[in-house]
Amino acid sequence: MNTPPPVERKQSRSRRALLSAITLTFPLILLLIMELILRAVEYGGNLHLVIRQSRGGRNMYAINRSVARRYFAQAGTVIPEPADDAFEIQKPPGTKRIFCLGESTMAGFPYDFNATAPSLLGDLLQQQLPGTHFEIVNLGLSAVGSTIVREFVDEILDYDPDLLILYVGHNEFYGAFGVGSTVSGGGSWLTRAGLYALKSKTYLFFRDIYVWIARTISPLPRKNEATLMGQVVGNQQIPFHSALYDRARSIYSDNLAAITRTARSHGVPVLFSTLVSNLRTQPPFVPLADSSRSAEWQRLMAEGDRLRRAELPDSAFAKFRTACRVDSMNASGWFAFAQAAYTRGKYPEALAAFEHARDLDALRFRMSSEFQDDLIEWCRSEGVPLARVDSAFSACSAGGIVGNELVLEHLHPNLHGYLLMAKTWRDAIKSNGILVESTQWRTTPEIGDDEQLHRSAVTAFDSLVGAIKVKILTHSWPFAEASVPFEFTPTARRDSIVYDYIRGKRFWSDARYALAEAYARARRYDLARDECLAVAKVASYSFEPLLRVADYYDAEGLSEQAKQTYRASYERQENPFARLKLAVLLLQGENPRGAIAQIDRALELDRSGNTRLKADATAGARYLLGVAYAKLGEFSRARQELEHALLIRPDDPEAKDLLSQIDRHVKEQ
């Protein structure tokens, strides 16, 4: 028997070890190469929370509207977007920067921009602290809960915040990475691992392929295609105090602690907000019944309904109470009992029953009392400021129980509700001594809600947007099992414009400009200006909305207001258009030298190439210069400008006529 010499055996073992190492590392090398390629082509886009953008010619930080693509697969998915907010790269002196974090309520659903609670808060703060400039950055995002908010907090602390305001808790079950969500990471440590994996483009790529294949093989039910609410629900029945319920509650508490701890380590104050939901007029979505007691419970409920219809409230109240005793875990029984107690004026008993009905609702779109209690206790024990929005809403609701006076459907406030929320946050900031010393607050009488909303550039456009969006939402699952998606039928030009915006056929600013034009044609110049001022408030770097406001002042014959607003337009962002239009008014007011200065500057801007005039506008500017010089008696210069105008536009009758008049005048002289 021939055995290899020791040297050959050693070389053989080395080759096997090398081959094993290559075999093990080759997939990793392939994944690394794939990751580098996907990063090079920027698969999925830029998914950083904060990006740099140019706004009005200035480089600024902006919230990335595509950030939610981290969490929601891109194949066949409705992906929520945060507000299009921006803030200075270098925070100016005297500026306070506030980040507002949370879910769809913080985002402002069903409203946008000026009609959201963060925007309204900025207006309220500016009124009472006029010496301070506020940057309010809205980081609210639909279909996320405290797990994603916690991740956002980790990222935004690098951007010099002065305060974090958090409104979070309704999406703990069905928000991204919630325990009952289709976008779920399993347990707590698995969730953290999943969020870490999302930083890899390779992971995103394979996730999107998996979701695409899964949805090709088994498409989502139609009801889940209607709204984002339906899309994110994985488990429609999560009983009160079940394992999933308790896990979500534990994760929520952990996230509250982590957010507070992280913010404090950076010296940034945190203001938590209690949450509100519709108790009085929103029945439970999915009540669970005890099947062994179903027959008796149904008999009692039917008898209670009969007595209520017969206007015998005391007897109906007794039947519903007995039904709750028969099946103490049926949310519908508690809701009927609460309604009966409310009708009898037993408000404390009704409140407790309404809250219990909400807590027993197995489809968990509304924060339960225990989660709210955990939030309140955490803030009390840790000395964290808390804005009691729940108490403010109760105080403004019939019988002290929140219904549809301030809430549109199950939990999103209406315009007055969002304003009340903003006022409650403002008061909490003041009472807790956050941002500035209490002596710096200006004492001003509280103005009416309608006037405050008007000052905040909230218009009928916002109201109609909200009304249509809520109709679309409430005609879909889980509010209704609609077989055909809700279609809005416009009855007026305003309705058509707003509906086009909602369907994505118009940009927000374009829709408001179109509505302004419709108002102007009806000679409602005040309403036309309101729409443009709403855009001016959001696009604070753009000359265009103020230019339009000035045009409507001019159309109404309010020349002084028009002049003032044309000046405001070019002071905000230099442009030749406002200067030329101002020059016309100055000429009409017999101020030719002022007009010449404006026209010269407009032509200088045109030559610089930043904002170019069209040929007709340039010819018009030369004609106006001819008029101005003629008024001053400088006929040679006037002729020169008019001839220049005719070189650009040879058939201009006004320029020809004025040139003839000057020639006749010079001959007569």
Has residue 480 been placed in a domain?
no
Look up residue 8 and give its two tokens.
């050959």
**CA–CA separation, 97 and 95 (whole Å):** 6
User: Do 436 and 414 fall into the same domain?
Assistant: yes
Has residue 614 been placed in a domain?
yes
Per-residue CA distances from 264 to 153, 164, 271, 382, 384 (Å): 11, 11, 12, 11, 10
Exposed, middle or buried, 30 (CB in 10 Å: 0-12/13-18/19+)? exposed
For residue 167, what are the β-bridge partners? Answer: 102
Residue 402's CB is within 10 A of a number of other CB atoms, namely 26
Please list, in sequence order, all residues whose beta carbon lies within 8 angstroms of the beta carbon of residue 357, skipping any fewer than 6 positions away. 279, 283, 284, 331, 332, 334, 335, 338
User: Do 267 and 173 fall into the same domain?
Assistant: yes
Has residue 426 been placed in a domain?
yes
- pLDDT tens column, 575-631: 999 999 999 999 998 899 999 999 999 999 988 877 788 999 999 999 999 999 989
Residue pair 332/310 in contact by the 8 Å Cβ criterion: no
Per-residue model confidence (pLDDT) at position 70: 84
User: Do 373 and 434 fall into the same domain?
Assistant: yes
Tell which of 328, 360, 392 closes a domain. 360
Tell which of 324, 341, 360 closes a domain. 360
Look up residue 76 and give its two tokens.
């066949």
| Nearest to 599, CA basis, from 614, 609, 616, 586 | 586
Separation of CA 107 from chain center: 4
Has residue 121 been placed in a domain?
yes
- What is the sign of the dihedral through the CA atoms of 81, 253, 274 and 264? negative
Total number of domains in the chain: 4
Q: Residue 250 sits in a domain of what CATH number?
A: 3.40.50.1110
Has residue 63 been placed in a domain?
no
User: Do 112 and 127 fall into the same domain?
Assistant: yes
Percentage, residues of the chain above pLDDT 90: 67
> Can you list the residues of the chain whose pLDDT is less than 70?
1-22, 24, 26-28, 30-32, 34-35, 38-45, 74-77, 184-207, 210-227, 482-484, 669
Has residue 247 been placed in a domain?
yes
Q: Residue 626 sits in a domain of what CATH number?
A: 1.25.40.10
Has residue 148 been placed in a domain?
yes
User: Do 216 and 305 fall into the same domain?
Assistant: no
The predicted model scores a pTM of 0.88
User: Do 391 and 420 fall into the same domain?
Assistant: yes
Task: Tell me which residue range forms the domain holding 628.
Answer: 574-669
Q: What is the DSSP letter of 540?
A: T
- pLDDT tens column, 58-80: 899 999 998 988 888 755 567 88
User: Do 226 and 189 fall into the same domain?
Assistant: yes
User: What DSSP letter does each residue of 40-107 carry, written as one string?
Assistant: HTTTT----SEEEEEETTEEEEEE-TTGGGGTS-SSS---------EEESSPPTTEEEEEEEESHHHH
User: Do 144 and 274 fall into the same domain?
Assistant: yes
Query: For 48, how many CA atoms within 13 A lie in the half-sphere containing its CB?
Result: 12
- pLDDT tens column, 360-390: 999 999 999 999 999 999 999 999 999 999 9
Tell which of 341, 360, 379 closes a domain. 360
**CA–CA separation, 191 and 194 (whole Å):** 5
Residue ranges in 503-614 assigned as alpha helix (H): 508-521, 525-538, 544-555, 559-572, 576-588, 592-608
User: Do 170 and 115 fall into the same domain?
Assistant: yes
Per-residue model confidence (pLDDT) at position 373: 97
Per-residue model confidence (pLDDT) at position 131: 87
User: Do 329 and 373 fall into the same domain?
Assistant: no
User: Do 600 and 631 fall into the same domain?
Assistant: yes
Has residue 541 been placed in a domain?
no
What Rg value do the Cα atoms of the chain yield, rounded?
32
Return the ∠ at Cα 278 (arms to 276 and 279), rounded to 5°: 105
User: Do 41 and 175 fall into the same domain?
Assistant: no
- pLDDT tens column, 509-520: 999 999 999 999
